[in-house]
Structure 1
Amino acid sequence: MVLNLKLNDTSTAINTDPKTGTNASSRDTFIWDKEVPQLAQRLRGANHTWVMQTRREGKTVRRKIGDVANISVAAARAQARVIVEQLVQKAAPPDPNTTLKDFAERFLADCQHQWKPATLKAHARCMRVHIVPVLGTMRVAALRRQDVLKWRRGLIGSAGTGNRVLAVLSGLMRHAELLGLRRPGENPCAGLRRHQSDFKAEYLDADGYKRLNDVLCAQANAFPQAVACIRFILFTGCRKGEAKAARWDQHDGPRISLPDAKAGPKSLWMGKPVRNLLASLPRTGSAIFAGDNPKGLEVELSQLWKIVRRDLKRPKLRIHDLRHSFASVAVR
């Protein structure tokens, strides 16, 4: 059975026969993408997977990309395009002697359009600093779990760095499977436990919020844009980068529509205090808080936050902790 529906980041598949209305959990249901027509969600009972399917030389070619729960629509589309491109170009069979160093360049080039620039830069640095110097001469097809474990034990840096680097290497191995360099299901990084980070977020209680408000009131004249930006984060729970990027032309009544937040398009819904805050601000440029001087806002934020840490006697408090505090208050 084929359901020709358009995929999006919030689509929900209904595993029902459209003609009879009966449950079709025992059958395969394919929900095809309109942007990449060879891509589909395949529903078989409780299993939801991404697949690429096309015709080649008179035969149906189908490749599993991964679980829907673990791979976003954008990432699935990117991987499907890579597979289709290989098939169309009749690419030669992959060289089994391809080294990890050489394949790292291919991996970054193939997948760059599914990442934001900052993510691509971070992944490239992980390759350059942590992966290629140790594993670069090894054949991609020959990398085994014991090699990954030995490499991981020698990593220098925090637990968070180790987790990020392992995720990048795992992604590279998955891409090698898609391109035929490794057999499916043999990712040597799969199932490795993440290192437990000793990082702990800080939270503000009622007294902390009061003391922070006192500092913001005292510094409003010295750092007007930064104070407004911090209040916006306090009221909405958004990320600092989202607040800095917010523009007046994205302001739409009770919300701000961000076209490119960390996880994609996002709406910041604003209560009356937030709307009153924005109404009190001068429009000095296209950005709400930065105007036309984003570097100036960053300097203000840095200087203001040093004062906040000093006056609250909390030297490790981060601006991002305001987001955690917002979520903590919201669930109470």
Structure 2
Amino acid sequence: MVTLGCAGVAAGALSAPAARAAARSLLIKATLADLPTAPEKRRVPLFADYAEEFWQDYSPHWKPATQRSSRSRIDQLLVPRFGDLPVDMIERGDINRWRDSMAERGGTFNRAIPIMSVMMQYAEKLGYRVKNTNPCRGVSRFKRELPERYLSASEYRRLGRVLAEHDGVNPFVIPALLMLIYTGARVSEIATLRWRYVQPPRLQLPDSKTGPKAIYLNPQAIAVLDGLERRGDELLVFPAMRREAPINLGQYWDRIRRQAALPDVRLHDLRHSFASVAIAQHIPLATIGKLLGHALPETTARYAHLADEVIAESADRICSNLANAMGIAA
């Protein structure tokens, strides 16, 4: 039995409203007594401590190359910047100030903020942050002018002459470069190609930058592969000279491009040039995206301006022919 105050006007007496409120409070407590209580809120760690917890949970799901680059950015950029802040106290203003401080290193910021964003999302799942409070969401990245170099017909001819005359130490260099030119593949995809992936009329890669991928082989690419001795299925198609390791085309490319008077052409520009030639042949962007293995249409859209140029040139030719047919000077 519970007594609330005392009757009359003695000290400690309760008014009727106060007594009713006290009674309701006791009833509520009695009703909830046997129900499970809400768990205590997890102690929110400092960002530096959370970074290790995040790494242990999340990094095993990344590829080795992603692990290496992400670990470096966490240690060198994120922890020094946010390490002393509790995870739940990092706000949009902190991210914006970080962005402003990276104005001279825009590319570095652009590569680091996706990692920070993933870390904040995971913090929400662990209960360290309120849901939907990711401070990285909507933060603009630095715009970068990425140089894209496309080889012209005359430049392809110069390159072809140099490749035909090249007499290097490693006999796999020229075949590997020809595969880049003929397929538009990424350098890493050709350098790490193994014979079991060669399944004409395609290369069936179990993994790539965008996941499993098929690279379609044209007759020229098939001829390059047919000219090589097919070794064991697990061996590399284009190994380094002295050991069974992926060929490093970069160390040979500088000399070759200089001999072809193309000092500004990067290996990756061979992939861009593959796309530009395809567009000149009126191949749809969607098809080019499949040939290049783009995961998103937006990636292929970077070549849309080339398609516009081809269409404009075609329109000019058509109109010129029409004007000539009507006897009107163009």
Q: Same fold (TM over 0.5)?
A: yes
- Between 1:104-113 and 1:161-170, the stretch displaced more is 104-113
CA RMSD of aligned residues (A): 2.1
Counterpart mapping for 1:1-332 below 5 A: 93-96=41-44, 98-155=45-102, 158-283=105-230, 286-290=235-239, 293-295=243-245, 297-298=247-248, 301-332=249-280
Partner Cα distance (2:159, 2:186) in 1:
18
Kept in 1: contact 2:186–2:268 (CA 8 A):
yes
Question: Over alpha carbons, which structure has the higher Rg?
Answer: 2
Query: How far does residue 192 in structure 1 lie from its aligned partner after superposition?
Result: 1.2
Query: How far does residue 92 in structure 1 lie from its aligned partner after superposition?
Result: 7.4
Secondary structure of residue in 2 paired with 1:261? coil
- Residue type of the alignment partner of 2:243: N
Kept in 1: contact 2:150–2:272 (CA 8 A):
yes
Partner Cα distance (2:197, 2:216) in 1:
12
**Residue identity (%):** 34
- Residue type of the alignment partner of 1:287: L
Query: How far does residue 315 in structure 1 lie from its aligned partner after superposition?
Result: 3.0
Query: How far does residue 306 in structure 1 lie from its aligned partner after superposition?
Result: 1.2
Partner Cα distance (1:255, 1:296) in 2:
20
How many residues end up aligned between the 2 structures?
A: 239
Partner Cα distance (1:197, 1:178) in 2:
33
Query: How far does residue 169 in structure 1 lie from its aligned partner after superposition?
Result: 0.8
Unaligned runs of 5+ in 1: 1-90
Q: Deviations over 1:227-262 (max 9, x none)?
A: 111100111111111101111112112111111211
The structure in which a higher percent of residues are helix is 2
Q: Deviations over 1:273-299 (max 9, x none)?
A: 11111000124561111178355721x
TM-score normalised to structure 2 length: 0.67
Kept in 2: contact 1:233–1:239 (CA 8 A):
yes
Q: Deviations over 1:73-98 (max 9, x none)?
A: xxxxxxxxxxxxxxxxxx974322x1
Query: How far does residue 158 in structure 1 lie from its aligned partner after superposition?
Result: 3.5
**CA, structure 1 residues 157+238, in 2 after alignment: closer, same or farther (shift >3 Å)?**
farther
The structure in which a higher percent of residues are strand is 1
Secondary structure of residue in 2 paired with 1:278? helix
Kept in 2: contact 1:148–1:188 (CA 8 A):
yes
Partner Cα distance (2:115, 2:104) in 1:
15
Query: How far does residue 125 in structure 1 lie from its aligned partner after superposition?
Result: 0.5
Query: How far does residue 135 in structure 1 lie from its aligned partner after superposition?
Result: 1.0
- Residue type of the alignment partner of 1:305: W
Kept in 2: contact 1:107–1:175 (CA 8 A):
yes
Query: How far does residue 224 in structure 1 lie from its aligned partner after superposition?
Result: 2.3
- Residue type of the alignment partner of 1:167: P
Aligned to 2:308: none
- Between 1:283-292 and 1:159-168, the stretch displaced more is 283-292
Relative CO higher for 1 or 2, CA cutoff 8 Å, sep ≥ 6?
Answer: 2
Partner Cα distance (1:232, 1:177) in 2:
46
Secondary structure of residue in 2 paired with 1:113? helix
Partner Cα distance (2:111, 2:253) in 1:
27
- Residue type of the alignment partner of 2:138: G
Q: Deviations over 1:138-160 (max 9, x none)?
A: 01100011111112222376322
Partner Cα distance (1:247, 1:276) in 2:
17
Partner Cα distance (2:143, 2:103) in 1:
15
TM-score normalised to structure 1 length: 0.67
Kept in 1: contact 2:151–2:273 (CA 8 A):
yes
Aligned to 2:21: none
Kept in 2: contact 1:130–1:155 (CA 8 A):
no
Unaligned runs of 5+ in 2: 1-38, 281-330
Q: Deviations over 1:57-109 (max 9, x none)?
A: xxxxxxxxxxxxxxxxxxxxxxxxxxxxxxxxxx974322x111111112222
Partner Cα distance (2:206, 2:84) in 1:
41
